[in-house]
Structure 1
Amino acid sequence: MAAPLAGTCRFLPRHASCVLLRRTGVWLSLRSRIHRSSPAHSGLLFSLNRRGVLKDSFPENAAQDQLPRLLQSGAQTVYCGFDPTADSLHVGNLLAIIGLLHFRSAGHHVLAVLGGATAQIGDPSGKTSEREPLSADTVEENTRSIRESIQRIFSNHEVHFHDASRKPGTVTVLNNLSWYKDWGVVAFLSEAGRHFRMGTMLSRHSVQSRLKSADGMSLTEFTYQVFQAYDFHHLNQVYGCRIQLGGTDQLGNLMSGHDYIHKVSGEEVYGLTTPLVTSSAGDKLGKTAGNAVWLNRDKTSPFELYQFFLRLPDNTVEGYLKLFTFLPLAEVERLMEQQREDPSKRLAHKRLAAEVTKLVHGKEGLESAKRCTDVLFHSSVQALEEMSDEELQELFREAPFVELLLEPGTTVIDACRRVNAIPEGPRGYQMLSDGAVWINHRRTNKPEQVLIPKLHILSNGLTLLKVGKRNFYIIKWLSL
């Protein structure tokens, strides 16, 4: 089971898809081979390579002839795996989901496979040490949360981005625990284990790097590639799946699946990888690195996701527009020309942030992100008045959220003291008199002023209180 894309992408140069793939000492340029193949058979792969979404293919001859012909022959089934080792996917995983969305838009069927079983084993790929074991209950809860997230993204894509004139393929979300839960360890090793060779398994990069580390590798982790290979075999037998998509760090696991299926059934199957994405410093973004930008709202709000893409370095935005949006490449070029003419408007960044936020959180999420942006950076009282309790708490995550009973005659200083925003006694009174307190983006210097509806209390029953530069308090007023 793959756990693709442990990170998020910093920047891919214009020819980033001209990457080399090695097997048995031979290096393969995926892009050059697709360019040499017949245009009639290259459509989808050629498009994904131009966007930088695909990096490598396996086996070597797939990019030249077999896989393009297979995709042109009719609807195929493509799968990608996601291990539920956290309760949310992150932006790095989004690139794999986008790959599936491209295949689905082209009429192919896609399987998103959640590793309810393999998450309890742990993928060693890209890891310097073994991850902490997860309980079955934790994995089950993580699986439920990620399933909802994936379904939401596919739904948003169909509503907002898919060409309605083209019939999309089907999408199915599976849990690999469903085909492992009845296996006994002896029966599984007897059937599957005999088709694996220790020399090949030991040669995988993920294994070699861990064997050379101080911690080494456990037997549990070592068997991960067996389970991922069997996943591919099961999906091939039950769903006719012949293509696996994964992050570039999954290439060894893809090879294991290909070899296992070839030995068991003789059928030809294929692997495609997407590039790993990194931070501006070149580090992988993800759970292990502790710098993940999550896809679930309770971990990263629509505003925070929007701001992540809005703040990308200028030299990364073109690559990200190609990777993370469905805009035609000609439109990407126009956006970049407009941005070069007036960089201060950041038109490309804004479009990128809007497209990704709408894909992940829908139209409502994008509108929420824009409201939060207006409140925080443009001091918009109108936007503040339109915000929900949830949005305010997302925007000011560290701010206390207090519900207070609105009594007649409540003054500014009463409100400040009831939420402990100012010190007791003369010092707090002086702070108010000196204008250190802001209510709904307006400075106030009258401690004894009675709270006025629509000025101090917005129509949504909220008050945003700020003391100094960074101390926020959110008050939800309850009527008598």
Structure 2
Amino acid sequence: MITNRILRLFTVNKLNLKNAERFYSQKNILHLHDRGMFQDIFPASHEHEIKKLLNNSPQCVYAGFDPTADSLHVGNLLVLMNLLHWQRSGHQVIVLLGGATGQIGDPSDRTTERTEINNMIINDNINSIRNNIENIFNNHKLNFWQNNNNNQKLKQPIVVNNIDWYKNINIIDFIRNVGKKFRLGTMIGRSSVQTRLNSDNGMSFTEFSYQIFQAYDWLHLYNKYNCRFQIGGGDQMGNIVSGHDLISKTTGNNVYGLTLPLITSEGGKKFGKSLGNAIWLSSNKSSSFSLYQFFMRTKDSDVDNYLKLFTFLKLDEIKSIINKQNLEPEKRYAQRKLAEQVTLLVHGEEGLAAAEKATAILYDNSLESLSKISADELVTVFEGASIYDLPIEPGMTAYDLAMRIKCFKNDKEAQRILAAGGYYINHSKIINPSEVLTPGIHILKNNTTLVRVGKKNYHVIRWLV
């Protein structure tokens, strides 16, 4: 729930409505509370100062991403959306890639220590994540900003890697000059630390020191770019407060943190790679179709909120979409709009077109549709399908094919499933397993065949010609 202090921060003088509208659309990023984008702010006692800064001049904001995988995932998407809103409002965005902090490991919201990653993999991950982020910012500029009536030119995001400043820091100087600014009692009191200290696995000094490094990152960005704002997930509040305290003690000036709500799956689990439920933002790890289908499966109770969080559609347009959805919920109009917008942002026009084509194939049982895509695309559409490369042999029957790709454990199981009508080739039920495979019917013009056994067991054959 959005806090009352954020609501107060957004309140404007009704006598100055014209300026209020200008600030709403261009500078005062706090209008995003209407979309449920912010969970909390820090420090809460500086409401007037935050509002004045945002209204009077462009500000600088950053968010950090540690390279613990070779792609960001849908759980990171809300932070990127928030950064894009800052950019649209005329502010300078900084993306920090944790080449150094990724070697330490953020203990926030974890019960065990992260697996150590070697430097070569970290560098590869950084390059991949950088590509994720640059693609999304470019897709936004091409597909969402060019139609904006505002002639304002977007400021390009600044991408930095914190290894660039840590590699030149002497450890003694760092502990003496930075470490002395932190009080041990305060550090131990952080909820992320307490959770780990009370667990069976405990906590290493390496992870315990993470909050110092994230705090110093912010100090470095403040000194170099006058970066006064940091955003992060709700689990980052402790690290954000550490950064605020370090900067205020070092410079005597205030900085501000804003946290975003964590997006969870059904059952309340945080989306992330460690839970095995991640949808990746890189097309090499999750196809545009997978991302599209992820949002198509959004529950009706969540779709209004997701449209506000993950699209740039105006609130009155979202209201109209939801009203239309409520009239015919079975058509999933709102989910389709959500999936289109997110896929276009993450994968661009080509990715969206591929996702829509794959979706049509999933629900269209025609040979023509199956003939239009490749074997690899079939594997993507029919998730979990096995793929085989086979030569075309004269006289091969439907039964021969089933046994060649091991659809059945033995002849007895084959006879049982065939008798029950559970064997399909290219969406057609096989009544006579002795029929010979025929081009155009069993072997499609793209030299593929889709076999299904039961309801969900798919096999894709690539014929060698």
Deviations 1:236-267 (A, max 9, x none): 22233221111121112111112212222333
Find the residue that maps to 2:231 and give its secondary structure.
Answer: strand
| RMSD after superposition | 2.6
1:11: which partner in 2? none
Which 5+ residue runs of structure 1 have no aligned equivalent? 1-15, 21-28
1:92: which partner in 2? 75
Separation in 2, partners of 1:122, 1:67: 31
The answer as to whether partners of 1:247 and 1:276 remain within 8 angstroms in 2 is yes
Separation in 2, partners of 1:259, 1:321: 35
2:182: which partner in 1? 196
1:35: which partner in 2? 11
Query: Could you tell me which of 95, 102, 110 is aligned with 1:112?
Result: 95
The answer as to whether partners of 1:429 and 1:447 remain within 8 angstroms in 2 is no
Query: Could you tell me which of 40, 43, 52 is aligned with 2:36?
Result: 52
> Are 1:249 and 2:225 matched, yes or no?
no
The answer as to whether partners of 2:9 and 2:51 remain within 8 angstroms in 1 is no
Amino acid at match of 2:142: V
Query: Could you tell me which of 323, 326, 335 is aligned with 1:340?
Result: 326
Separation in 1, partners of 2:120, 2:98: 13
Separation in 1, partners of 2:230, 2:24: 18
Return the offset for 1:412.
3.4
Find the residue that maps to 1:394 and give its secondary structure.
Answer: helix
Counterparts of residues 65-464 of structure 1 (less than 5 Å): 65-164=48-147, 165-422=151-408, 435-464=421-450
Separation in 2, partners of 1:260, 1:289: 33
Deviations 1:356-379 (A, max 9, x none): 122222222223323333333332
The answer as to whether partners of 1:413 and 1:432 remain within 8 angstroms in 2 is no
Which 5+ residue runs of structure 2 have no aligned equivalent? none
Q: Which stretch of structure 1 is more off in the superposition, 356-365 or 368-377? A: 368-377
Amino acid at match of 1:321: L
Return the offset for 1:452.
3.1
The answer as to whether partners of 2:359 and 2:381 remain within 8 angstroms in 1 is no
Q: Which stretch of structure 1 is more off in the superposition, 77-86 or 192-201? A: 192-201
Q: Which stretch of structure 1 is more off in the superposition, 422-431 or 338-347? A: 422-431
Find the residue that maps to 1:472 and give its secondary structure.
Answer: strand
Deviations 1:432-472 (A, max 9, x none): 68754322112233445443333222232211112333332
Find the residue that maps to 2:11 and give its secondary structure.
Answer: helix
The answer as to whether partners of 2:362 and 2:382 remain within 8 angstroms in 1 is no
The answer as to whether partners of 2:29 and 2:89 remain within 8 angstroms in 1 is no
Deviations 1:174-215 (A, max 9, x none): 221222123232232123212222233233222233333343
TM-score, normalization by structure 1: 0.86
Find the residue that maps to 2:145 and give its secondary structure.
Answer: coil
Q: Select the structure that is richer in helix.
A: 2
Separation in 1, partners of 2:272, 2:334: 25
In structure 2, relative to structure 1, the CA distance for the partners of 1:233 and 1:223 (3 Å cut) is same
Separation in 1, partners of 2:296, 2:218: 38
Separation in 1, partners of 2:194, 2:89: 38
Find the residue that maps to 1:320 and give its secondary structure.
Answer: helix
Percent of paired sites with the same residue:
45
Number of positions where the alignment pairs a residue of Structure 1 with one of Structure 2: 454
Amino acid at match of 1:130: E
Deviations 1:137-170 (A, max 9, x none): 3322322222222222222212221245431111
Q: Which stretch of structure 1 is more off in the superposition, 428-437 or 177-186? A: 428-437
Find the residue that maps to 1:245 and give its secondary structure.
Answer: strand
Find the residue that maps to 1:475 and give its secondary structure.
Answer: strand
Separation in 2, partners of 1:388, 1:374: 15
Separation in 2, partners of 1:358, 1:418: 40
Q: Which stretch of structure 1 is more off in the superposition, 185-194 or 311-320? A: 185-194
1:6: which partner in 2? none
Separation in 2, partners of 1:427, 1:306: 37
Deviations 1:254-288 (A, max 9, x none): 11112212222333322111111222322322234
Separation in 2, partners of 1:422, 1:292: 32
TM-score, normalization by structure 2: 0.89
In structure 2, relative to structure 1, the CA distance for the partners of 1:416 and 1:291 (3 Å cut) is closer
The answer as to whether partners of 1:433 and 1:447 remain within 8 angstroms in 2 is no
